[in-house]
Amino acid sequence: MSTLANKIQEVFNEPGCAKNQAKSGKERKKGCTKQLQPGGAAGGCAFDGAKIALQPITDAAHLVHGPIACEGSSWDNRNSSSSGSKLYRTSFTTDLSENDIIFGGEKRLYRSIREIVEKYDPPAVFVYQTCVPAMTGDDINAVCKKAGEKFGKPCIPVQAPGFVGAKTLGNKLGGEALLDHVIGTEEPDRTTPYDINIIGEYNVAGELWQVKPLLDELGIRILACISGDSKYHEVARSHRARAAMMVCSRAMINVARKMEERYGIPYFEGSFYGIGDMSDSLRQIAKLLVERGAPDELIARTEAVIAREEARAWRRIAAYRERFSGKKVLLITGGVKSWSVVAALQEAGMELVGTSVKKSTKEDKERIKEIMGQDAHMIDDLPPREMYRILKEARADIMLSGGRTQFVALKAKMPWLDINQERHYAYAGYEGMVELVREIDKALSNPVWSQVRTPAPWDEVTWEQRADEANAAVAECEAKAPSPCPSPARGEGTSSQRAQPTPSPLAGEGRGEGEAARCVAGEVAELPILPLERAA
């Protein structure tokens, strides 16, 4: 465990991270992960993050060392696409039983690796540590070392048991496993002055393939994508690239930075989302390659491709700009997509009413401000109540978010589009922007919205009306009262009871603080939210 503790400390101490650099030594030691609140936490664990980061290595076997919970309910649930091997979609787990807990699971792990090598013959086996064997003290490093020697296959221990932190930490710990055991362990057959790495891109819904044809045309070779649609040997040989692009701003900065340090590969941080960002990224790639010795003419060729593709994309998007004018979009997402999608949607003529910056770094937030001007409606951890109200008051025509918040929009009968990990559509590059715009148009113009919003002929009062009345009551109360009004309490009534949103004067003395401030009596519709994301 001490090596794992050191590793986490090291990851927290990432010099490539500007946010980290701004901290004092003491703060830095505490790490980046916010202390999770029991009963109020959301999101995946470190193991989840490590698996997200590494599983897109398509021809490797990914073996989860733990009880069934870690793999049994989550396997084959991500949309990372492969152009070749499908082995990454085969699930391997030691499925630890009570005996393994009592007597130790190392033997089972070793035998599992042997079975995988014999049956599936992958180029490498990644072994993921989880909470239970981390508690009981299974030494997966030792097992991997022994199995690797015995079977002549790289066996890579991934030390990211769930309880060490959140998903983003797991992304980085997955990257550390690559740095320690994979990158630089093999040599490529040949290199070219046009070799790049793309770091932190997972080829969700095949997005890498919306970008790759452009690179192909320019003669730029992806030596390794870490890790979308990659093969093990590509990652092992990635240290010979001339330049690198880091895609997801927080996920794998440690990989990009350490590869620069160890192998002299310069990197830049860029995005494939949005036309402007895509063009900038191509320019940056060309510039870095030329700086590293590629012929100058690459820059002119790149500009020609950018000009042609931008014009082509704009032509196709222009068809929608008119339909989108005046339409407002509420964007709830974390990390890289916040700032890159903002620009993209504005290009399509939409107006933003807010964006979540939960997972975004400080730099992300700065970028959003830059792009949206000082008026940007910055929403850190937007409470679902607010989300719902924005939608209800039609300040937004459509909501874009990850799968887990979709019901806020759908149950409120509002158009919604999935833009996170589990999405099925690809939105990268010039093609992706056209696709995103087409999908938004499809969602907005679908005829179901007017139908589902029509109340049943016999409904005297719809829940929407009750919700509106309740919200109005809160607003009225807020206007009157100096102290902030609390959230309406959850009503216990049934559909047959009509709401009585009587704004009452502040209750008298003798009551608890919470009670005294209560402005709204009667039934109030609550939010259709996922409790995990609910704010107090």
For residue 425, count CB atoms less than 10 angstroms from its CB and return exposed for 0-12, middle for 13-18, buried for 19 or more: middle
The one-letter code for the residue type at 512 is G
Tell me whether residue 48 or residue 186 sits nearer to other proteins (CB atom): 48
* Alpha carbons 49 and 61: distance in angstroms, whole number: 17
Contacts 24+ apart (CB under 8 A), 23-26: none
Choice between 80 and 112, CB closer to other proteins: 112
User: Please, what is the minimum distance in Å from the beta carbon of residue 458 to other proteins?
Assistant: 15
* 68-77 own/partner pairs: CB under 8 Å, 24+ apart: 68/93, 68/95, 70/128, 70/130, 70/131, 70/162, 71/95, 74/48, 77/422
Of 135 and 304, which has the nearer Cβ to other proteins? 135
For residues 326 and 457, which CB has a smaller minimum distance to other proteins in the complex? 457
- What is the smallest separation between the CB atom of 375 and other proteins, expressed in angstroms? 31
The tokens for 119 are 């049956």
**Residue 74 or 500: which CB sits closer to other proteins?**
74
Please provide the distance, in angstroms rounded to a whole number, between the alpha carbons at the two ends of the chain. Answer: 36
Cα→Cα distances 170→128, 182, 197, 391, Å: 11, 17, 21, 34
* Alpha helices (runs of H) in 292-425, residue ranges in sequence order: 297-324, 336-347, 362-372, 384-392, 406-411
Smallest distance from other proteins to CB 526, Å: 4
Q: Based on CB atoms, which residue is closest to other proteins, 370 or 381?
A: 381
Tokens 């069934």 belong to 68
Please, what is the minimum distance in Å from the beta carbon of residue 5 to other proteins?
9
SS3 524: coil
How far apart (Å, rounded) are the C-alpha atoms in residues 168 and 170?
5
| 344 burial via Cβ count (<10 Å: 0-12, 13-18, 19+) | buried
CB of residue 22 to other proteins, shortest distance in Å: 25
From residue 82, alpha-carbon distances to 55, 230, 435, 436, 472 in Å are 11, 8, 20, 22, 51
CB of 387 to other proteins, least distance (A): 12
Residue number with CB closer to other proteins (112 or 302): 112
Within 8 A by CB and 6+ apart from 338, the residues are 331, 355, 356, 357, 360, 364, 368
Q: For residues 387 and 407, is the Cβ–Cβ distance under 8 A?
A: no
Minimum distance, C-beta of residue 421 to other proteins, in the bound complex (Å): 10
Alpha carbons 279 and 284: distance in angstroms, whole number: 9
Shortest Å distance, C-beta 43 to other proteins: 6
**Minimum CB distance to other proteins, residue 131 (Å):** 4
Closer residue to other proteins in complex, CB, 221/404: 404
What is the Cα–Cα distance from 43 to 162, expressed in whole angstroms? 11
Rank residues 64 and 183 by Cβ distance to other proteins and give the closer one: 64
Cβ proximity to other proteins, 92 vs 202, nearer residue: 92
Question: How far apart are CB 41 and other proteins at their closest, in Å?
Answer: 4
